[in-house]
Amino acid sequence: MKKVGRTNLRLLAAATAMAVAGGVGAVVSASADPPSNAMSMGHGVDEFGMTKAFYDGKALSFTYSKGYFCDTSVSSAATSGCEVGAKANNKPAKRVEPLFITVPLGFTVKKSKMDCPDGLVCVDHPGTIDLTRIEPALKPLYPKLTDAQLTAALQNAATPGHQHFITTRAHGKRIWWDVKVVGVTKKSEYNKITAHRSAAFLKKEIKAGRTTAAIPTNLFLFFSVK
């Protein structure tokens, strides 16, 4: 298991908050693992469907036609092969573009108001994700759990609900997108980001410290934008 140094404290805090708000508690108490939506380790089931996304002040649509890819050279104990906290070593294609997903932390958002709500696995998304890279920070939050119990919960956490933000339409072509997680701790800030519908605005809020840092993952999604 990788440990996080002082230079990554902000990233660690962001990931910790996401883990707490995004389903780790539910996984700890759950009797069954959430569905992975995996065809094989690191490769999602090929499905066809759509979700909403935000770009340049507009609401657009993603059309998915291939299952997710997670770089298995980055260790993950999740049934999906995906993880949060370390970037991929290998990409599924030469060209990839960033996909920022915003996750509400410490407050709830109506399912109808989210691109991919809690408790549902969006088309071509992983259903599980490994959060063990933040275990040292999570341990104080669960003093009654043994190290083994906490590790088991973090290895296969449910993917949290989120919104999608992109920086380009990629000319409507079907390409791979590199997922980066942004946690939002205040509902007013979350609503402001959603109202702007802009990755450019989101990046300004990240830079200003009004959200968490953008957390790397080994996860890529495949879709076109319209």
**Are the C-beta atoms of 70 and 209 separated by less than 8 Å?**
no
End-to-end Cα separation, the chain, in angstroms: 40
Inter-CA distances, 122 with 109, 119, 218, Å? 16, 10, 18
Distant-in-sequence, close-in-space partners of 110: CB < 8 Å, separation ≥ 6: none
Q: What is the DSSP secondary structure assignment for residue 105, as one 8-state letter?
A: -
171 Rama class: left (phi>0) / alpha (psi -120 to 50) / beta = left
pLDDT at 104: 86
Q: What is the pLDDT along the chain (226 residues), one digit of tens a residue?
A: 444 443 343 444 444 444 444 444 444 444 467 788 888 999 999 999 999 999 999 999 999 999 999 999 999 999 999 998 899 999 999 999 999 999 887 788 999 889 898 888 899 999 999 978 867 755 766 788 899 998 888 899 888 899 999 999 999 999 999 999 898 889 999 999 999 999 999 999 999 999 988 989 999 999 999 9
Cβ atoms < 10 Å from Cβ of 149: 12
- Which domain range does residue 108 map to? 6-225
- Separation of CA 36 from chain center: 14
* pLDDT value of position 74: 98
Integer Cα distance of 34 and 19 in angstroms: 15
Determine the pLDDT at residue 141. Answer: 60
Is residue 1 a part of any domain in this protein? no
**Pairwise CA distance, residues 118 & 90, whole Å:** 29
**How far is Cα of residue 77 from the mean position of the Cα atoms in its chain?**
16
Residue 54 lies in a domain: yes
What does the alpha-carbon distance between residue 66 and residue 49 come to, in Å, rounded to a whole number? 10
Q: What is the pLDDT of residue 1?
A: 41
Q: Is residue 45 part of a domain?
A: yes
Domain count, the chain: 1
| Residue at 16 is within a domain | yes
pTM surpassing 0.75? yes
Residue 129 resides in a domain: yes
Rounded-to-integer distance, Cα 13 and Cα 185, Å? 11
Considering the domain boundaries, does residue 108 fall inside one?
yes
